[in-house]
Every structure is written in structure tokens, then in C-alpha cells.
């Protein structure tokens, strides 16, 4: 189920009443003027995202993929797994602390033998744990030293975002620069807050350029198709609230992932795992 199905229904009305937008604000605080230019909304959200300090992401993963095609897209080699892997029921959660250059991301794939992956990066070290009934020995984290500059992506602003956060920013920036057509669809709610719901229609051929800008190799998996991208922006802060992406390829399969962004500016709780939870050697 895509994110906009989980939010408050509203794909017909362009904007709710201004009084609804002001709900929850202190008495006497004027509600912000609602914007009507979707391209201005997207541009402002990118600026606000670059200035973010901490935030949380959460969202479902659906679809089915060919592991070899996915590995090729990411620039990897053969994975030794044939057939199609179902992703339905999967999810992604993560916390980011940009000033500290730290993140804690976990992914769950219950349809893949209950596999889960946890990745923590803090104080210059990456901690990775893959848990599955088929690999009980991997229940502890492995630790490796990483240069934070190696996590930065070409699409992100230096020093502003890194790792998975840079991928998100780079993708949004690449879409905005691709000549995509932005349409203001409606006003929805994310995390109980009013948002602009913008749909970005990507021109033919622009997807490959966007993936290349992120360091991926679209040619490795043949023709890729990206459905119109759903994008939500909080109307009071103009920070990104969510993004829904549906990607398919004859070689890759199909993936639908929707990320909800919340908890901007909240105190960071990211820390390294306890030493007892880290494998030695």
C-alpha cells in the first residue's frame, strides 16, 4: 500500500481550509500562507532538507526483485541466488544525526526467511548486523573503520548529508533537475500534520541520468521504468514529509518503497552497540 493510501484521504481537493492548517499552533500564531506553485514547494523543501540536523525515516517496502539484477544496479557482482525474492511486508526505519555524521538504519524482510539488516554509523565506525534463521552466527555486529567522506554521495551537499540521507537528497535533486513536471495534487496529512502532496512525472530517459548521478548503473539491468513520484512536504516548515517511489524493470523486477520523514530536530539517540554485541576478530 502506497503512503498516500495510509494518509488522510484527499486526492480531489487542492487545499483544505486555512483553519485546518492552523490546528495545533499556539494561540495568536498566524498560519503560514499556503503555496500553489508545486515547483516552488519542491525547491523550498530541498533547501530545508539540506539544513536539517536530525530526522527519522520509516516506510514499507513491497514488490519482488531478481537479486542478480539488484546487485548489478548497485554495482556488485553475482550474488549466488536465483529466482525472484518477494519483498512484501518489508520495512525500513532509520534515524539520522547530520551534525554528528551518524545514522542508525534497519531493514526488515520477513518474506526472506525473516531476515533483518541493521547498519549503524557513528564516530567513524560502521556496525553491520544481518539476522536470519539461516545465519544465527551473524547475530552480532561486525565493526569496520570508515572515512565519513566515503559515505558522501555526489548528489548531496558537502557536509550536509551523507550515506542513505545523501541518496535521498540526491534523488530529489536529480528529479528536480531532470525536467520533471510537478503537479500539486492535494493536501494530505503525515504524522498528524498538514502537507502538500506533489506528484512528479519524470521525462523518458531522465531516470537513467538520475541513477547515474547517484553512482548507480542503470545500464546493468536494462530498461527501467519509474512511475510518477509521490512527494509530500510539511506546509508549516516546508521540510520533506515523505516520498513514494515505484520502480520496475524486466531484469530487476519491481520495487515500491515509501519513506515518511518525521522528528526533525529531535535529540539524537544514536550510539555504538555495546561491546558484548560486537563480534571480535
pLDDT tens digit string along 100-135?
889 999 988 887 777 888 999 999 899 988 887 766
By the 8 A CB rule, do 245 and 226 touch? yes
Q: How far apart are CA 235 and CA 32, in angstroms?
A: 8
Q: What is the mean pLDDT of the chain?
A: 74
Q: What is the pLDDT of residues 193-224, one digit of tens each?
A: 999 999 988 776 677 766 676 566 666 656 77
Q: What end-to-end distance do the CA atoms of the chain give, in Å?
A: 43
> Is 76's pLDDT higher than 80?
no
CATH of 35-270, one of 3.90.550.10, 2.50.20.20, 2.30.30.30, 2.40.50.100: 2.50.20.20
Helix, strand, or coil (residue 159): coil
Q: How far apart are CA 54 and CA 95, in angstroms?
A: 7
Query: pLDDT band at residue 99, thresholds of 50, 70 and 90?
Result: confident
Exposure on the CB side of residue 33, measured as CA atoms within 13 A: 3
Give mean pLDDT, residues 180-192: 88
Ordered by start, the domain boundaries in the chain are 35-270
- Out of 156-165, 175-184, 236-245, 256-265, least confident range: 156-165
> Is 14's pLDDT higher than 60?
no
Give pLDDT, residue 3: 35
Percentage with pLDDT > 70 across the chain: 62
Amino acid at each position: 500500500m502506497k503512503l498516500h493510501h495510509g494518509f488522510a484521504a484527499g486526492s480531489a481537493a487542492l487545499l483544505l481550509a486555512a483553519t485546518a492548517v492552523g490546528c495545533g499552533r499556539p494561540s495568536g500564531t498566524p498560519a503560514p500562507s499556503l503555496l500553489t506553485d508545486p515547483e516552488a514547494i519542491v525547491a523550498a523543501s530541498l533547501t530545508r532538507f539540506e539544513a536539517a540536523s536530525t530526522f527519522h525515516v520509516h516506510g514499507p517496502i513491497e514488490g519482488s526483485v531478481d537479486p542478480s539484477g539488484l546487485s548489478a544496479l548497485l554495482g556488485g557482482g553475482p550474488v549466488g541466488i536465483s529466482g525472484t525474492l518477494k519483498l512484501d511486508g518489508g520495512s525500513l526505519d532509520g534515524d539520522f544525526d547530520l551534525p554528528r555524521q551518524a545514522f542508525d538504519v534497519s531493514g526488515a524482510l520477513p518474506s526472506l526467511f525473516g531476515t533483518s539488516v541493521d547498519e549503524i554509523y557513528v564516530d567513524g565506525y560502521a556496525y553491520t548486523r544481518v539476522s536470519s534463521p539461516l545465519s544465527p552466527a551473524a547475530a552480532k555486529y561486525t565493526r569496520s573503520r570508515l572515512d565519513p567522506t566515503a559515505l558522501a554521495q555526489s548528489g548531496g551537499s558537502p557536509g550536509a548529508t551523507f550515506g542513505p540521507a545523501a541518496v535521498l537528497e540526491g534523488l530529489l535533486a536529480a528529479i528536480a533537475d531532470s525536467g520533471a513536471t510537478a503537479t500539486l495534487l492535494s493536501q494530505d496529512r503525515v504524522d498528524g500534520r498538514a502537507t502538500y502532496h506533489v506528484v512528479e512525472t519524470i521525462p523518458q530517459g531522465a531516470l537513467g541520468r538520475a541513477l547515474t548521478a547517484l553512482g548507480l548503473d542503470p545500464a546493468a539491468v536494462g530498461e527501467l521504468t519509474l512511475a510518477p513520484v509521490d512527494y509530500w512536504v510539511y506546509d508549516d516548515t516546508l521540510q520533506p514529509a515523505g516520498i513514494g517511489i515505484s520502480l520496475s524493470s524486466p531484469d530487476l523486477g519491481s520495487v515500491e518503497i515509501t519513506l515518511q520523514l518525521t522528528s526533525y530536530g529531535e535529540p539524537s539517540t544514536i550510539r555504538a552497540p555495546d561491546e558484548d554485541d560486537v563480534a571480535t576478530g
